[in-house]
Homo-oligomer: A and B are copies of this chain.
């Protein structure tokens, strides 16, 4: 009998080829260990509330009231909900024409929320934007030159759809900046293989690399995309997560608009944002949006059609987006509490970014750039030749070998750098900076103990010059 339709031999090769390291071998092994009762510190996914971050109170109050609109008629509701949360819940329910959270919205999202997003972008960038070009999504994971190291969602999705992934390498020694000559070479190399590059992804602030791109660098990238006829995909989901004052977040759209015509009217740009990251960390709510700039109306219609096949993003996630882009204002009952909670989270993340960078840099054969933004640390692990040989004998990629040993020894679940891509012969791992601040010294201590013992075991004390 021939193989059945869903036997492994029959399924699409693109599916088999797709790799997604964030939830790959390391994650599966960590889940097994957890089942066996071992304490696991999950630093593999940027999932703040799984690591103890408390949700912001005000948006949760608003959503709870939207979920249970009958509470709005309860005479006791004022005893447990503040008046501004009640008013805001009524506002969002009215934007759904009274249908509430239980009805599909338009596939592009609730028009009133899309309008709030447009107002937010205008406040942020100083340029008007059109709500018709803003689509709400279930998180930002739906959305192709791709930076390396990069977030492997991009490579996995490209592989799944049978596309070609054209890597460009970020410069570790230049704090993960983007070298435009390297970019040119990547596109030329792809072209020589018959691949037409169609899109370029930038992740700013960077995942896994944590850098904030400078205005000059963003301008170079925009000019490059314009010359090469590439659509620029701006993954800007970490725009609230900035841990230094020298280089604030600049949106690709603002930089593009600042450059003026003709380029500001020509470059095709799609920008992404989400409630999963930032100090909100509402990963499980699946709320996000993308904004289209200079995309022709017929293509916008096609994107609308494809979006409509999934009917609509979840409504609570849409309202979270609304709340993120229009948080409580000075004078509102909830304003001070909201600011206190938000600041508390951001300032603690800033301290953790520093603790982690310093911790890694104190370890033997480990060097690490400072996390300027986003929520990751991406230290380089200089693996000794003996460790690389041991990995080969075990049938593992060297950094996978290292990360698995780290997991078994300490319960720290990370993602090997090979899952993100790295220059040949250089090894990294990615951790989030999300473990609770009070646990950080213990975690970094436990890492240092493991790493230094590992290096002691495998290092024959020859020097390394490679960076």
Counting CB contacts under 8 A, is A76 at the interface?
Answer: yes
B-side contacts of A466, CB under 8 Å: none
Contact in complex: B153, A309 (CB < 8 Å): yes
Contact in complex: B20, A100 (CB < 8 Å): no
A2 to B229, CA, bound (A): 8
Number of A interface residues in the complex (CB < 8 A): 89
Counting CB contacts under 8 A, is A314 at the interface?
Answer: yes
Of the candidates B10, B67, B283, B298, the one whose C-beta lies within 8 Å of that of A102 is: B283
B-side contacts of A311, CB under 8 Å: 45, 139, 141, 283
How far is the CB of A344 from the nearest CB of chain B, in Å? 15
B-side contacts of A10, CB under 8 Å: 198
Counting CB contacts under 8 A, is A306 at the interface?
Answer: yes
B-side contacts of A15, CB under 8 Å: 302, 305-306
**Which segment of A55-63, A347-355, A364-372 sits at the interface?**
A55-63
Contact in complex: A268, B6 (CB < 8 Å): yes
A141 to B295, CA, bound (A): 27
Contact in complex: A138, B20 (CB < 8 Å): no
B-side contacts of A308, CB under 8 Å: 20, 22-23
B-side contacts of A20, CB under 8 Å: 305, 308-309
How far is the CB of A60 from the nearest CB of chain B, in Å? 5
Counting CB contacts under 8 A, is A49 at the interface?
Answer: yes
A284 to B63, CA, bound (A): 13
Contact in complex: A99, B64 (CB < 8 Å): no
Closest to A15 in B: B302
Of the candidates B5, B141, B286, B295, the one whose C-beta lies within 8 Å of that of A230 is: B5
Contact in complex: A68, B77 (CB < 8 Å): no
Counting CB contacts under 8 A, is A121 at the interface?
Answer: no
Contact in complex: A268, B4 (CB < 8 Å): yes
With contacts A68-B64, A80-B74, A80-B76 taken as known, whether A284 is within 8 angstroms of B47 at the C-beta atoms is: no
Contact in complex: A314, B285 (CB < 8 Å): yes
Counting CB contacts under 8 A, is A79 at the interface?
Answer: yes
**Which segment of A103-111, A171-179, A379-387, A418-426 sits at the interface?**
A103-111
Counting CB contacts under 8 A, is A16 at the interface?
Answer: yes
Of the candidates B97, B104, B283, B302, the one whose C-beta lies within 8 Å of that of A283 is: B104
- Give 1 or 0 for each of A1-22: 1 = CB within 8 Å of chain B CB: 1101111101100011010101
With contacts A284-B104, A295-B6, A298-B8 taken as known, whether A157 is within 8 angstroms of B309 at the C-beta atoms is: yes
B-side contacts of A4, CB under 8 Å: 229, 231, 266, 268
Of A76, A138, A268, most B-chain CB atoms within 10 Å: A138
Contact in complex: B23, A107 (CB < 8 Å): yes
Contact in complex: A314, B138 (CB < 8 Å): yes
- Give 1 or 0 for each of A119-159: 1 = CB within 8 Å of chain B CB: 00000000000000000001101100000000001001100
Counting CB contacts under 8 A, is A465 at the interface?
Answer: no
A207 to B140, CA, bound (A): 31
Counting CB contacts under 8 A, is A192 at the interface?
Answer: no
- Give 1 or 0 for each of A218-233: 1 = CB within 8 Å of chain B CB: 0000000000011100
A112 to B71, CA, bound (A): 28
- Give 1 or 0 for each of A76-108: 1 = CB within 8 Å of chain B CB: 110110000000000000001101111111110
Closest to A317 in B: B314
With contacts A102-B284, A284-B100, A311-B283 taken as known, whether A6 is within 8 angstroms of B229 at the C-beta atoms is: no
- Beyond A4-B229, A23-B107, list 19 extra A-B contacts (CB 8 Å): A2-B229, A4-B231, A6-B296, A53-B102, A57-B70, A61-B68, A77-B80, A80-B80, A100-B284, A103-B284, A141-B311, A153-B309, A157-B309, A283-B312, A284-B312, A284-B316, A285-B315, A286-B312, A316-B316
28 of the cross-chain contacts (CB-CB < 8 Å) are A2-B229, A4-B231, A4-B268, A6-B299, A11-B302, A15-B302, A18-B305, A20-B305, A22-B308, A23-B308, A47-B99, A47-B103, A47-B104, A53-B102, A55-B101, A60-B70, A80-B80, A99-B284, A102-B281, A102-B284, A105-B284, A139-B310, A139-B311, A141-B311, A156-B309, A284-B312, A284-B316, A314-B317
* Residues in chain A within 8 A of chain B (CB atoms): 1-2, 4-8, 10-11, 15-16, 18, 20, 22-23, 31, 45, 47-50, 53, 55, 57, 60-61, 63-65, 67-71, 74, 76-77, 79-80, 96-97, 99-107, 138-139, 141-142, 153, 156-157, 160, 198-199, 229-231, 266, 268, 276, 281-286, 295-296, 298-299, 302, 305-306, 308-317
